[in-house]
A and B are shown apart, each in its own frame.
Chain A
């Protein structure tokens, strides 16, 4: 292995370990809350309200919403991990440790994205375990499930980094999750099938990228989806490519991190 590749692998490992240690060190803030929040979702929407709702696509309501709720947790925590870590590094200026080093931009991007993905996976696993307290899960298409979880984590980790690059205050890192991610998640078919909506709103829903992710996840777990699986993966692929390239250009140019 050439020295260049080996050095970059060491740098990548360093960033990932640092990122994982960061969110595990503050697990009370990062890992515990989703377990509590999602347990409440299952109690209220699954057991209390869900028991009054008839079957959806042949599944009980709680079974129907489990994939979307797991994915919601993955989305918000992958995003939150990178946006807060990278912005924190900017704010405290320790991003300069990376910028003065020979670590290339693509390694920095990959490291932060893997860190976000790790948190997404940890939180997703915890929420899955919590859901087992309320229902039994049967995964129909494991590869689809794994692919969706990984690509979703990657997409929202990259998006978190882009947000952090442009953020100038801590307010700026909460605007996108509050005003964009949360509404899109709730309207992305987590709690309903878009077949319930009037035709016009079905078409509008198709503009929401999270709808494709949630339905791919639901197909992976339950084997049902409102969206063609190929379309979902195509959309995910395009997002990874476009956002990844954009983030890389931002880091290369030093936008928001170099004078």
Chain B
């Protein structure tokens, strides 16, 4: 399968001397759902800005579907849809007009753009709002409007920069389902997000960028397999007072009915449950305390920082 994105030696130094990208190499396969993660200021938005022609690069090459952004800017741009982090539409324009106009900028005739906008607005639950001004939309609706706008020209690559930031869980889940569908239909998606469970749930491959460099670029599964230890929270019924230590389990009593336990990835939990049963403690429910990707993410970033202990999260 060919690559949707091939970035080589990408550098960006801003006018104030800030070196935002220090030679980024990145490939995203066609059809992939790809996560680009990193802390604030790591270089994610700069990378996306360069791909979407909003930021001028200092050096390097960007190819989308084998076409050079410098040599064929119009052809490359027509392959790309961008949902930026911040709202960037005219809030004084009617909702449907925003999508129709965006179609026009891509050379789609008004009549055709109207048909496409209707389909997208219905899919994203905004059809009832089509005549209202964009400023009247809620935050979640504005995010969906930007997704609809980015899709009006049927791009082969969709970049989602924090698409669910600040939206409630219901809309977030609905957005996930929608973008999963888009991806299933063949659109390559690059996602940046601060919700790591979002990346873990949606993406097949991942790159982590920090201080302008890619520090990890691999398959999500492969990355998650590196988690050696997980922490579970157990909600119990029955007093935890008589519970002593359990071999190979690091137990912490949070309150009379809540227990936290660190378990090695290869280790069975049967011993723990047997011991709890012996003590007459019933486990009502349990949950994984932290997202696995979150643990890895923090660990990878910690490795890059001099003087930061590396044993907080084992990878």
Contacts and interface: CB of A to CB of B under 8 A. Distances in A.
Interface string A8-50: 1011011100100100010000000000000000000000000
A258 B54 contact: yes
B101 A96 contact: no
B49 A259 contact: yes
Contact of B80 (A6, A15, A21, A100): A100
B105 A103 contact: yes
B102 A97 contact: yes
B77 A100 contact: yes
B238 interface: no
A145 interface: no
Given A258-B54, A258-B56, A259-B54, A98 B88 contact: no
A101 B75 CA distance: 10
Nearest to B79: A102
A6 B109 CA distance: 9
A249 to B, nearest CB: 14
B14 interface: yes
A251 to B, nearest CB: 12
Contacts of B52: 100
Interface stretch (A86-94, A120-128, A179-187, A239-247): A86-94
A237 to B, nearest CB: 30
28 contacts: A3-B107, A6-B107, A7-B107, A10-B104, A10-B110, A14-B104, A14-B105, A15-B105, A18-B93, A18-B101, A92-B88, A92-B89, A92-B90, A93-B87, A94-B90, A96-B54, A96-B88, A101-B77, A101-B106, A102-B73, A102-B74, A102-B77, A102-B105, A102-B106, A102-B107, A103-B105, A258-B53, A259-B14
Interface of B: 14, 46, 49, 52-56, 73-75, 77-78, 80, 82, 84, 86-93, 97, 101-102, 104-110, 149
Interface of A: 3-4, 6-8, 10-11, 13-15, 18, 21, 25, 88-89, 92-94, 96-104, 254, 258-259
